[in-house]
Structure 1
Amino acid sequence: MRKTLYLLAGSIFFFSQFMFSQGSPDYNGGFKVKFDEEGKKYFRILSWAQVQGSYSDDVPEESSKLNFNLRRARVLMYAQINDKFLILTHFGLNSLNASNMSAVGTGNNSQLFFHDVWAQYNITKNHSIGGGLHYFNGISRLNNQSTLNMMTMDNNRQSWATIGLSDQFARHMGVFAKGKIGKLQYRLAINDAISNSLDVQNRVAYNADGSPNISENTTYYAGRELLGSKDAGKCYAGYFDYHFLDEESNFLPYKVGTYLGGKRIFNVGAGFFLHPEGAVRMEGTELKGEDVSIFAIDAFYDSPLGENGSAITAYATFQSNDYGEDYLYSAYGTGSMIYGHVGYVLPGDVTKPRFQPYVSFASNSYDGANDNRDVLGIGANAYFSGHNSKLTLEYKNQKFGDSNVGSVTLQAMIYL
């Protein structure tokens, strides 16, 4: 393990020299093509990639302890024909590695798919409606997190509280409304829940007559599939946050992870997700629907500290999760969660590489388990052109029952 840490630390130094020399300190908004002088008719393209090398001792004896992963590869495009209409398209892949690649790229594991496709109409300057495959989620800031500018290496998984259960990779098909009233921003959505949830794929079996063969007194997130779309087809979400200091943009739904002291932000938010009869439970011989309800409150602070280039980023949330009686699957379960992280940008010239150590901690309690799932992260970011070119080194430890798993990951990211 010590040898691997030295190797990863050396890699940070090597890549810092290379990537800064190739960086773009004057990124200036990226690739945007204007079709009129006022800039009301345009299209913009963004592209990014996150590549990881991860080391863990907790692997089978015959498996390698060091593995590589294309965590994300994405392309996002949006365009306006005037200031009333907007269309956004976002596609890419996630977590491509040697285990799920196929020989000619056409295997059963879907590699490239749409993350977002929605159309939007701006009713007024501050209020919009739209529909499609969208990311205007409820619950919390982290359930609306951008993957371009996270402070930690990745999002807190439990905060993407419905991923694969009612949605496609944190996106729902439905309609939304978003806007702001003074310093209060809002987003609301009515969506269709997916039929082919992770529970349906991995835990629900069927008898020869087509009836579900599920365990008695066990809860499954499979309401739409087993009860039908009339009773269990719709879900409802919303998030509201008040901006006490600088106001953040709500032009797109993706929440910024850290501004590196570029703004003075203090927001307090609250959100919800409701899916009537989204879960099911076999009681005796009867299949009973159970409502899914998730609520959270959170606070986000980001500010420069003096004139020396240093800055602080801090976030905290409490989330109440009800997926049905004693539900527990993967990281998700009925119970509650507390999560927080804090990072500090070291003093220095803002035109040169910047460094940001951070720490994060999550504690998930489950009604259906005796132990909490505790996740500790300790890491550091090296920024060579802001978020456009950065390296992240993180140690993560997860404890749950008798399991105690630690890993070290180095991630390189570039976006244009």
Structure 2
Amino acid sequence: MKKIFSLIMLGTTVAVAQVKSPDDNKRNDIRYNLNESGSHYVKFTFTNQVWLRLNDNNPGTTVLSDPKTSTFDIGLRRTRMQLFGQLTDRIFFYTQFGMNNFNKVSAFPAYNTAGTPSQRKIAAFFHDAVGEYEVQRKGNNFIRFGGGLTIVSGFSRFSQPSIGTIMTMDVPVFAQATVDQTDQFSRKLTVYSRGQIGKLNYRLAIADPFPVETSGSVPAALNQNSVFAQRKNSKQFQGLLIYNIFDTEDNTTPGYMTGTYLGKRKILNLEAGITSQKNATWRKDAVDTLYSSMTLWSVAAYLDIPLNAEKGTALSAYAGYFGTDYGKGYLRYNGIMNPATGTTQPIAGVGGTHGNAYPMFGTGNVIYAQAGYKFKDGLLGSQGTLMPYASLQRGDYDRLQDAADIYNAGVNWLIKGHNGKLSLNYESRPVYKNSAPVNELAKDGRKGSWTLQYQISI
């Protein structure tokens, strides 16, 4: 009993030693220092994003076999926990556990319309599990090597977004190009190197994509349009170069790139990235099976700067051009946390066209831009400030007669920066129908959705 009591007292003493600090009221993290300087530590974070959404559904939409022209749903867009730390000067680890897109129909895929049993308790999983070793460090310059399950990517900044610091209510998911097809919610088993050399930040990676058969959905049948191949799987090669004109960015965690620093840093970056995989997709041409390499590349500029440091005003903006070659005829619909389960008006040559889905991925090119303005600190007194924003995504895909233009506009109520914020967003998306030639889609009006998000992050 004395030994147990002594251990409890020791644990209490250590805990008190960790929390008593003159900076306690300024701290926004849960952190345990492993040395006196705090350079070695273990840190825990938690993020939860609750969505309340009113959606104008695509034509023919059904929810659990009931026709629905509109839906109101409540869901958890993301619920994540991170545990990571610097164990020595050179050894770093990072893990993330959580779930995504959890609403009342999230465990009821569109092909399960017969009402056979589903399981809503399977959504949480490890997103990341990574170990890193730093081989060189001189000032802000460093070179690290790592491996594991990770989101480290070469395609673009928004292929590896820090979801707790997003400026717009959600990220442009088209940049997570193979999401839940040959990856685990954008993560792959990967070995990589990342580093900062002067003004240049880099990421180089070799990934081993998952078979599309393990995606949790029935793989698309081999047809005239390219779909992810079920044979001849090969490694994926990725590279991203970022030139920092002003400040360098936060490089603590592997991959994850900040959405907006809310004026805390002066950032202007020029970025270029590429992802390439041989024999990634296949298609049928008469009696022949043809394979295509997947090549994704982007060039972009990112700005996030304070305008008036004393008032706390800031500007954030991004513009990028994306080349997306998945193979001839590739086109994929996707609806974020789709509130529906099926449709009575399917579109030939594509699946999952119900609810809030639109042609998100395809062979062609995409232009994406966003901008936001942060008002002065204390605009709402002790209740924080506001940051309105807008974004445009234009997907000009080969099988679309008219480009898919997606508009978003909204405002963040920054109650305590990114740690506690409310976001109200309106999205306008295009609707398509089959058209001649038979393999192409023509625009058939627009639909919209209103979403209120409450984010808690620590």
Q: Tell me which of 108, 130, 135 is aligned to 2:146.
A: 130
1:179-216 Cα offsets, whole Å, 9 max, x none, are 011010000100101103588933435xxxxxxxx22x
Q: CA deviation at 1:37?
A: 1.5
In structure 1, what is the Cα distance between the partners aligned to 2:292 and 2:56?
Answer: 40
Aligned to 1:11: none
Name the aligned partner's letter for residue 96 of structure 1: F
3-state SS of the aligned residue for 2:74?
strand
Q: Tell me which of 222, 226, 231 is aligned to 1:226.
A: 231
User: 1:207-226 to 2 correspondence within 5 Å?
Assistant: 214-215=222-223, 217-222=224-229, 225-226=230-231
- Residue 67 in structure 1 maps to residue 73 in structure 2: yes
- Residue 90 in structure 1 maps to residue 96 in structure 2: yes
Aligned to 1:407: 449
Q: Which runs of 5+ in 2 are unaligned?
A: 1-22, 109-116, 334-359, 432-442
RMSD (Å) for aligned C-alpha atoms? 2.3
Q: Tell me which of 312, 315, 339 is aligned to 1:312.
A: 315
Q: CA deviation at 1:284?
A: 2.3
Change (3 A) 1:119 1:26: same
Name the aligned partner's letter for residue 238 of structure 1: G
1:56 touches 1:65 (CA, 8 Å); kept in 2? Answer: yes
In structure 1, what is the Cα distance between the partners aligned to 2:292 and 2:165?
Answer: 36
Aligned to 1:48: 47
Aligned to 2:342: none
Aligned to 1:322: 325
Aligned to 2:369: 340
1:54-74 Cα offsets, whole Å, 9 max, x none, are 012326575463210111111
In our comparison, the structure showing a higher alpha carbon Rg is: 2
Q: Tell me which of 169, 178, 197 is aligned to 1:153.
A: 169
Aligned to 2:256: 254
How many percent identity over aligned positions?
31
Q: CA deviation at 1:145?
A: 1.0
1:164 touches 1:197 (CA, 8 Å); kept in 2? Answer: no
Aligned to 2:434: none
Q: CA deviation at 1:246?
A: 1.2
In structure 1, what is the Cα distance between the partners aligned to 2:120 and 2:385?
Answer: 42
Q: Tell me which of 389, 396, 399 is aligned to 1:368.
A: 399
Change (3 A) 1:136 1:112: same
In structure 2, what is the Cα distance between the partners aligned to 1:123 and 1:240?
Answer: 20
2:52 touches 2:73 (CA, 8 Å); kept in 1? Answer: yes
Name the aligned partner's letter for residue 450 of structure 2: V
Change (3 A) 1:108 1:128: same
How does the TM-score come out when normalised to structure 2? 0.78
Change (3 A) 1:62 1:326: closer
How does the TM-score come out when normalised to structure 1? 0.85
Change (3 A) 1:26 1:337: farther
In structure 2, what is the Cα distance between the partners aligned to 1:363 and 1:240?
Answer: 24
2:40 touches 2:88 (CA, 8 Å); kept in 1? Answer: yes
Aligned to 1:107: 119
3-state SS of the aligned residue for 2:217?
helix
Q: CA deviation at 1:81?
A: 2.4
